[in-house]
Structure 1
Amino acid sequence: MSETVEARLAELGIVLPEASEPAAKYANYVISNGLLFISGKGPAGKPKGKLGQEYTTEEGYQFARLAGIEVLAVLKEALGSLDLVKRVVKIQGFVNAVPEFEEPHKVLNGCSDLILEVFGERGLHARSVLGASTLRDNLPIVIDSIFEI
């Protein structure tokens, strides 16, 4: 990638917020053996509710994108520069949904698409997504992630 990640963010019109703080007594991120692990992040504004009940798949996609921006903000705080990311290793999403909701993977695409837009080839990642009967603060999605630095 010839341009900087910050330049790419500007092209996309994304301004990173201040990194959000952990919701309890745990680290926002941990660096170990060249990997940076970011604790679960939800979307800014802390919307509440379930996919398939209060929210549609399309709204969930936007929430996942917003949660991805929160992840990027923590990553920037941890490293100082997003250009220090060698590779996005894994994105894992937990989607607060009714049991009948069958599209958690489409919701998590909001974060995956963002990561690929921002990091290009370095952003191609492994991922998993799980439907959950409940999440902290009744958030619609929580995303945790692993980066090689």
Structure 2
Amino acid sequence: MSIEDKLAELGVTLPNAPAPAANYVPFVQIGDIVYISGQISNDANGLIVGKLGDTMELDAGVAAARSCAISLLAQVKAACGGDIGRLERVIKLTAFVNSTDDFTDQPKVVNGASDFLVEVLGDAGRHTRSAVSAASLPLGVAVEIEGIFQVK
């Protein structure tokens, strides 16, 4: 099953790749490796804001991380000239979770992204990762994730 078919089966349509909000590029490709800048949590209703351990529950954080993974795939698609089928595998995610000092479930939050990528890509979605706490994130978003991908 193609990546597009799997996304459709899950009811996911990749949005247009988000434009950079400052002085950086959304991705850089070196050989068959694509580095994607941090993607902040958002959905069709706008930014997903909140602080885990304070104003946001774990399930909402998981959904926020999933939204970051969808934006990452949108950026990979843009990097591949609109052909997401060129994606070979996810190499690494680095995730930042807007959370309180005593919140320790950052890995559970980031599973929202990791589980989604494995669901869409199978073994090619399995990746290394870091999941760390941040005292705050841009615009008050709940999660920001950057990624490294291999493409054809």
TM over 0.5: yes
3-state SS in 2 of match to 1:86: strand
Provide TM-score, normalisation by structure 1.
Answer: 0.95
- The question of whether the paired residues in 1 share the 8 Å contact of 2:41 and 2:49 is answered with no
Distance 2:91 2:51 in 1: 28
Residue 19 of structure 2 is matched in structure 1 by 21
Distance 1:47 1:113 in 2: 19
User: Which residue among 28, 42, 47 is the counterpart of 2:40?
Assistant: 42
Distance 1:108 1:143 in 2: 9
Distance 1:33 1:94 in 2: 27
Distance 2:110 2:36 in 1: 16
What residue ranges of structure 1 are gaps of 5+ in the alignment? none
Residue 98 of structure 1 is matched in structure 2 by 100
Give the structure with the larger strand fraction: 2
- The question of whether the paired residues in 1 share the 8 Å contact of 2:32 and 2:150 is answered with yes
Q: What is the CA RMSD across the aligned residues, in angstroms?
A: 0.9
3-state SS in 1 of match to 2:48: coil
Give the count of matched residue pairs: 147
What residue ranges of structure 2 are gaps of 5+ in the alignment? none
3-state SS in 1 of match to 2:37: strand
Residue 71 of structure 2 is matched in structure 1 by 70
| Percent of aligned pairs sharing the same letter | 38
